[in-house]
Amino acid sequence: MRRRAVLSGAAVAVAATAGTGWWLRGDPVPPAAAVVPTGTTTVTRTDLSATAKIPGTLGYTGAYDVYWLGTPGIVTWLPRPGQVISRGQALFAVDDQPVRLLYGNRPAWRTLSPGITAGPDVRLLETNLVALGHATTANLTVDGRFTGATYAAVRRWQRATHQPVTGRLELGSVVFQPGRLRVADLAVKAGGRTPGDAVVSGTSTTVVVLLAIPVTDTHLVHLHDAVTVTMPGGETVPGRVTELSTVATAPTETDLGRGNQLPSVPATVTLGRQIAAAGLDQAPVEVQVATASAANVLAVPITALVALAGGGYGLYLLDGGRRLVGVEPGLFADTLVEVRGDLREGATVEVPAA
């Protein structure tokens, strides 16, 4: 039951055999039991949490296809995959004319010029002209009406970006997307004709972790749960579950190849620090989800627990002597375990030496 009692008994047995071994020389002498080196640790008061580990993959939110809406022409410039395009920058060029990215929640569908009816597309144009610094809310009212102030702001923008200064926004000269766009794929090559389908496919620049949670583990993950993501380099980043599907999907061929034969539920984790994932698209990561927690409890390393002969567990308490006290284990969390019993915070207990 006690580490010392077992070792002492073994030592006595070895000593007795040594004194009478001259007539038992033909029988093997049992080896002496190894002495287990020990160290000490203290009982701490802390918060514990048990976690489950779920594999994930880094990716990006959103999926956007950018179409050419102007007169068919020759694609003369394209961005490279992975490039990030911001407001006002060229996304591609047709017939050597840049097609610029503006931010908005709906596509362009007409040429914007003086005399057209008011509409949300005019409001988007005005919002972007103010954001780019070619107008202010003092000299341009963002109200969706193409006024003389709108015309003047368009001309200032065209002049600053070396476009023909017409005061008109031709259909196809800009595309509206929700925000900065990260180029994911190119549907055409430079020198090709603009097709009727997408020219560029992209995503947002928000890095997330994509999970496929086996249906047997869905009880572990909840929407808005705080999680910890371990990056490929070992760095940990806080995150939160921001999307959790209610529909399970069948395993893909890739899943089957990895031995995952169960249906899974898609989920998305948004990272608390985006910079930690820069340049790591599709990299594998590990998501730790808290499954149980205990606050303000006494805890010791799990290795300090001693199995008692009569069942249960104890600790060797070193308080001027060495005595074995029974304890009731609570939550196991990583290398620590919650303990309840005749203990106090700061007490010294015995552990096997590292």
> Is a pLDDT exceeding 90 seen at residue 354?
no
**pLDDT for 270 beyond 70:** yes
How many residues does the structure list for the chain? 354
User: 134-146: string of b/e by CB count within 10 Å (b at 16+)?
Assistant: bbeeeebebebeb
Q: Say yes or no to pLDDT of 196 above 80.
A: no
Give the helix, strand, coil percentages of the chain, each rounded to 5: 20, 40, 40
Using the predicted structure, report yes or no on whether residue 132 has a pLDDT greater than 90: yes
Write out the H or E segment, with its range, that includes residue 299: strand 284-301
Asked if residue 21 has pLDDT above 70, the reply is no
Which pair of structure tokens corresponds to residue 111?
A: 């040429």
Do the Cβ atoms of 294 and 286 come closer than 8 Å?
no
Residue range 23-41: average pLDDT?
62
| C-alpha distance from residue 35 to each of 32, 321, 340, 352 (Å) | 9, 19, 29, 11
Q: Mean pLDDT, to the nearest integer, of 274-288?
A: 82
Among 131-135, 207-211, 316-320, top mean pLDDT goes to 131-135
The CA distances from residue 165 to 26, 125, 154, in Å, are 109, 16, 8
Nearest Cα to Cα of residue 169 among 187, 190, 146:
146
Pairing of strands 174-177, 97-103: parallel
Q: Determine the average pLDDT of the residues in 140-160.
A: 97
Report residue 197's pLDDT band, with 50, 70 and 90 as the boundaries: confident
Q: Which has the minimum average pLDDT: 70-79, 122-131, 132-141, 192-201?
A: 192-201
pLDDT higher than 60, residue 30: no
Chain-centre distance for alpha carbon 250? 23
What gap in Å lies between CA 84 and CA 135, rounded to an integer?
25
d(CA 347, CA 172): 74
In sequence order, the 6+-apart residues with CB closer than 8 A to the CB of 16 are none
Domains and CATH numbers, the chain: 3-22+33-48+294-352 (2.40.420.20), 51-60+207-293 (2.40.30.170)
The DSSP output letter for 193 is B
| pLDDT tens column, 248-261 | 988 776 666 666 67
Whole-number pLDDT of residue 20 = 34
Which pTM value belongs to this model?
0.68
Check residue 211 and give its pLDDT. Answer: 93
Cα dihedral 142/145/148/153 (nearest 10): 40
**Is residue 61 within 8 Å of 154, Cβ to Cβ?**
no
Q: Residue 55: CB partners within 8 Å, gap ≥ 6?
A: 211, 284, 285, 286, 287
Q: What is the pLDDT of residue 257?
A: 62
Which pLDDT score is estimated for 8?
34
Single out the residue of 138, 146, 98 nearest to residue 119, CA to CA: 146
| 267 compared with 256, residue with greater pLDDT | 267
**What pLDDT is stored for residue 286 in this prediction?**
95
Mean pLDDT in the chain? 86
